[in-house]
Structure 1
Amino acid sequence: MKHNKAGSVMAMEVVRALHSTPFQEVAGLLVEHHISGLPVVDEDEKVIGVISETDLMVRREHTPDPARSKRRFRLTGLTRGTRRQAPKTHARTAGQLMSVPPVTVRADNTIAEVARTMTQSGAERLPVVDVGNRLVGIVTRRDLIRVFLQPDDEIRRREVIEKLTYRLDDSHLRPDEPRRV
């Protein structure tokens, strides 16, 4: 795998939530791990959504303040029965709070493809999935920026080492194919 692939810059240990993870626990994970979002997975580790701080803020923004709710409804002329609320207002679990469908990338996507996907989706992080859409890592904007900080000679040296290692490793050959030295 070359230096310009998502798999070479992704973090393999990913903080994640299950569909049933309570809202408070999701908020706690973000604070505890100093992250701004995380993927939501099912029991098979398939990515089914993502949660960001923005999702949490949307929920908080629409949660009524008991001290102000009567006054606000009186001033706007709305009653509780007619007031429209955002779908995430009453979210109690990660599954109810998450944004779907999840935007994901694969480990063999190039850094340029990942950057393009992030830009187009507005995401700050992208779950990296395998062919079965199971979570294998995560790539953040910071991971992509680090690529630009590597000196060119280090990048070239790493490419040469990877090519030599690939040629010496015969695990990619079919059993009936002769090994070339």
Structure 2
Amino acid sequence: MHDSPHTVGDVMTRTPVAVGPDAPFKDVVTLMDRWKVSALPVLEGAGRVIGVVSEADLARAGGMTAGELMNAPAVTVHPDATVAEAARVMARRGVKRLPVVDDLGVLKGIVSRADLLKVFLRADEELTEEVRREVVDRLFPLSADHIRVDVTEGIVTLTGWIDSPAPAPVAERLARAVEGVVDVRCHLCPVAAREDPR
């Protein structure tokens, strides 16, 4: 069982294809085609990322080697960054993949947009277990047995009776924050609502 939040290290490709700065234009094109990737990290020395060469860079053909074509410095991410942080970097910088580097800038992997979406492929059973443990058991330790958690296609439904209406919005917010949850439907009602008003 994996606790949130997922990190880049959880979803990255650990054996990325990369090139050196002296790699010829044709070799870069060949590698991209063979591995079906849209960009390659450019490495020097002991594997330190110094730039990234993308399909767009090749289309502009402003050079004959990876070092001449690449964008530098490379936009990178650390393996300990959360999936959400990596997604924000990609959106802000307009890139589809990020080299994953350690504190010395050495390549450890690569993460793509598709990798970041993997968290939404978590099984409903796994999500049910995490929502029950991280939300219901923590917020409602005394009435957890009266609360039902159902997950279908990533949509969480919370049903049951609670002592006070105050924690219901908190439960909904916390359930929504569980990685892989698509939506939350909260049907938690205070016990007082069960009582006959007559």
TM-score for the superposition, normalised by structure 1 = 0.67
Match of 1:62 in 2: none
Deviation at 1:146, TM superposition (A): 1.6
Deviation at 1:27, TM superposition (A): 0.5
1:94 to 66, 75, 80: 66
| Structure 1: 4+ residue segments shifted above 4 A | 155-158
Q: Deviations over 1:131-172 (max 9, x none)?
A: 1110000000000112112125335769xxxxxxxxxxxxxx
Unaligned runs of 5+ in 2: 131-198
Match of 1:67 in 2: none
Q: Deviations over 1:1-41 (max 9, x none)?
A: 85610000000010000011111100000011111111000
Match of 1:45 in 2: 47
Counterparts of 1:23 and 1:54, CA distance in 2: 13
1:137 aligns with 2:109: yes
Counterparts of 2:39 and 2:128, CA distance in 1: 33
How many residues of Structure 1 are paired with residues of Structure 2 in the alignment? 128
User: Does the CA-based 8 Å contact 1:18-1:43 persist in structure 2?
Assistant: no
Match of 1:105 in 2: 77
Deviation at 1:92, TM superposition (A): 1.1
1:22 to 21, 24, 33: 24
What CA RMSD, in Å, does the superposition of the two structures yield over aligned residues? 1.8
Counterparts of 1:151 and 1:103, CA distance in 2: 32
Match of 2:92 in 1: 120
User: Does the CA-based 8 Å contact 1:104-1:126 persist in structure 2?
Assistant: yes
Secondary structure (helix, strand or coil) at the match of 1:39 reads: strand
Considering only CA atoms, is the larger Rg found in Structure 1 or Structure 2? 2
Distance change (3 Å), C-alpha of 1:106 and 1:57: same
TM-score for the superposition, normalised by structure 2 = 0.61
Letter in 1 for 2:53: I
Percent identity of the aligned residues? Answer: 43
Q: More strand by proportion, 1 or 2?
A: 2
